[in-house]
Structure 1
Amino acid sequence: MSKFENVTLVKEANIYDGGKVSSRTVEFADGTRKTLGVMLPGEYTFNTAEAEIMEMMSGELEVKLPGEDWKTLNTPETFNVPANSAFDLKIKTVTDYCCSYIAE
């Protein structure tokens, strides 16, 4: 899906790591939400409360999911992150992403 319709966009940005990662929250009528963002080159660790589906739409990067080895992604590519965990990213080039939060 390349376009979201009938949504609410939260005006305030989510900004992390001194502005190297930023996103905006999109809220859907059914109560689900996603964030759309951009990551600049660097190494990051993200902690999750909810399960997530990370859709990496463009960029060069590596991901290390809980209990797994580093994996190079060939965007566009998607990976799942379990709730109450952490994952690591090595962003090589500016990366565009969409994060979907999954209620369990």
Structure 2
Amino acid sequence: MITENQYFDGNVKSLGYETTEGKSTVGIINPGEYTFGTAQKEIMYVIEGELEALLPESADWQIIKAGDKFEVPANTSFKVKATVQTAYLCQYR
């Protein structure tokens, strides 16, 4: 089953699906700054565009370009900034 998700007044939208390895979403982030909370470990791939990410226990923003990924542990939060529409794949493990 495919689920539709919408966050931050529609500025982040995704489609969710499930594989044998777990849940995943693929979506678009509009320009802006957003804070996400995690219940599970998340592996986030930037497909197109670019994000800046402020990961837990880090004081510095990291630039994540198309083709790159970052991981966030469960039960934490992280921030992202986008200056252009950015496509992503997020795996929940």
Cα deviation code 1:73-93 (max 9, x no counterpart): 222211000000000001111
Aligned to 1:50: 40
Residue 23 (structure 1) aligned with residue 7 (structure 2): no
Compared CA separation, residues 96 and 67, structure 1 to 2 (3 A): same
1:98 lines up with 2:89 in the alignment: yes
> Is there any run of 5+ residues in structure 1 with no aligned partner, and where?
1-8
Unaligned runs of 5+ in 2: none
The aligned length equals 92
Deviation string, structure 1 residues 5-59 (Cα, Å, up to 9, x no partner) = xxxx41x41000010000011112x261100100000000000000010011111
TM-score, structure 2 as length reference: 0.92
Task: Sort the Cα spacing of 1:31 and 1:77 in 2 relative to 1 into closer, same or farther, 3 A.
Answer: closer
Q: Which amino acid aligns with 1:55?
A: Y
Structure 1 residue identity aligned to 2:10: G
**For 1:73, which of 56, 64, 80 is the aligned residue?**
64
| Secondary structure, counterpart of 1:19 in structure 2 | coil
Length-normalised TM-score, structure 1: 0.83
